[in-house]
Amino acid sequence: MSNVMPLLAAFERAGHRITSPRLAVANLIAARDGHFAAADLVADARRDRLAIGRATIFRALELLIELGAVERLDLPTGEHAYVSCEPAHHHHVVCSSCGRTSEIDDAGLRAFVDEVARRTGYALESHRLELFGRCPACRSNGAA
């Protein structure tokens, strides 16, 4: 349910052509609500009778991840999932019921990261933070 433009912009910014398979993949991603697996996109493409190879979907996904327009999540179960998002550094709150995500700002975390670096002596390069819980919509929907 997000917009295709940022995805296409990511391709262009990095000097990659916006081919029709890539456009199709971007559309499939934008049409998705919440996180998705690569297999979901393959299924979507099949459903829409799109002539896109499996490899091409993986390649487009990989490119978008490199460019920061899509991020790989690790669910508490250990499964991988993808979600489209802003290129700037941030983190995700993931609904464990419907899979929708919200982006959260990094600001409040920075002090903590610095403190860890100071205490452990590590030269920290990156970090990953994911929060899981039920989103407001799912909470008010009761069982859903």
Q: For binding to DNA (CB under 7 A), which residues are involved? A: 16-17, 19-22, 37-39, 51-56, 58-60, 62, 78, 80
Q: Are strands 91-95 and 101-104 parallel, antiparallel or unpaired?
A: antiparallel
Which residue among 12, 133, 141, 144 contacts a copy of itself (CB under 8 A)? Answer: 133
24 or 135, CB closer to DNA? 24
Does the footprint of a copy of itself cover residue 127 (CB under 8 A)? yes
Do the beta carbons of residue 45 and residue 24 sit within 8 Å? Answer: yes
Neighbours of 104 (CB within 10 A): 14
Q: What is the residue-wise DSSP string for 90-121?
A: -EEEEETTT--EEEE-SHHHHHHHHHHHHHH-
43 or 117, CB closer to a copy of itself? 117
Question: 132 is in the binding site of which of a copy of itself, Zn ion, DNA, none (Cβ under 5 to 8 A by kind)?
Answer: a copy of itself
Does the footprint of a copy of itself cover residue 14 (CB under 8 A)? no
Burial class (CB within 10 angstroms; exposed 0-12, middle 13-18, buried 19+) of 10: buried
Do the beta carbons of residue 106 and residue 119 sit within 8 Å? Answer: no
Binding site for a copy of itself (CB under 8 A): 72, 74, 76, 78, 80, 93, 95-96, 102, 104, 108-109, 111-113, 115-117, 119-136, 139
